[in-house]
């Protein structure tokens, strides 16, 4: 096989993989661009951009729709490759399993729900004097909330009894910070995973596992 044929075969395989989860890979491409921008733009410009897209209390009060949407396209730091790996582990199999529209619905429901709940609790803590007012301005981005939510619903795509082991590990891992010096972000991650589990009705009827009784016919996660 010539080099040209091998390159063609690799290109065909890459195209097939991307088409199998177009939403996830488009999202990753946007995140790659915005992460690069964080490295090439002046620090002051980056801070201004991120502050205007942060889902903190101040921005949620002023521009709720804008920040809930735009915060999904920025990462806090230079760890794009880590998210590339995590997206392939969690987002890709869920998008292939549910379809792009339902996968996106899970992402938005868990992202928005976890953001509002965690920031609502922070607002209450500030009013009660348990947290300083400065916490209302802290930069916060919702990519990880959607990731935790998708990790939650992925439970239903794993064969029994491994799905029970998986959900205990995921929920337990996200619950550990709640027993220490808890932050609103820790609450958001844990809440997002629980909301993801509650997204069971979004699973198409023909792909929906039986929670009890006979083992379901769903396949193990691919990708």
**How far apart, in whole angstroms, are the C-alpha atoms of residue 68 and residue 188?**
14
pLDDT score of 1: 67
Global confidence as pTM: 0.87
Q: What is the pLDDT of residues 139-193, one digit of tens each?
A: 887 689 999 999 999 999 999 899 999 999 999 999 999 998 888 999 999 999 9
Count the residues in the chain. Answer: 223
Q: Percent of the chain at pLDDT above 90? A: 65
114: nearest Cα among 80, 141, 136, 91? 141
Confidence of residue 214 (pLDDT cuts 50, 70, 90): very low
Q: What is the pLDDT, as a whole number, of residue 120?
A: 94
Cα end-to-end distance, the chain, whole Å: 27
**Residue 27's pLDDT band (cuts 50, 70, 90):** very high
| CATH architecture designation of domain 22-207 | Up-down Bundle (1.20)
Q: Region 67-72: what's the mean pLDDT?
A: 93
């Amino acid at each position: 096989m010539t080099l040209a044929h091998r390159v063609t075969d690799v290109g065909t395989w890459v195209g097939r993989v991307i088409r199998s989860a177009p939403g996830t890979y488009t999202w990753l491409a946007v995140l790659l661009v915005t992460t690069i921008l964080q490295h090439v733009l002046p620090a002051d410009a980056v801070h201004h951009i991120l502050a205007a897209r942060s889902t903190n209390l101040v921005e949620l009060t002023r521009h709720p729709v804008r920040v809930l949407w735009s915060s999904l396209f920025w990462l806090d730091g230079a760890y794009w490759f880590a998210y590339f790996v995590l997206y392939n582990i969690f987002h890709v199999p869920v998008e292939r399993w549910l379809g792009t529209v339902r996968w996106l619905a899970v992402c938005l429901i868990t992202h928005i729900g976890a953001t509002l709940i965690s920031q609502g609790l922070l607002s209450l803590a500030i009013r009660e004097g348990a947290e300083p007012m400065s916490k209302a301005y802290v930069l916060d981005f919702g990519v990880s909330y959607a990731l935790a939510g998708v990790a939650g619903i992925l439970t239903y795509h794993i064969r029994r009894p491994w799905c029970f082991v998986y959900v205990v590990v995921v929920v337990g891992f996200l619950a550990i910070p709640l027993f220490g010096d808890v932050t609103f972000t820790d609450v958001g991650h844990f809440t997002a995973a629980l909301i993801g589990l509650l997204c069971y009705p979004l699973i198409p009827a023909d792909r929906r596992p039986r929670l009890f009784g006979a083992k379901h016919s769903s396949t193990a996660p691919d990708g």
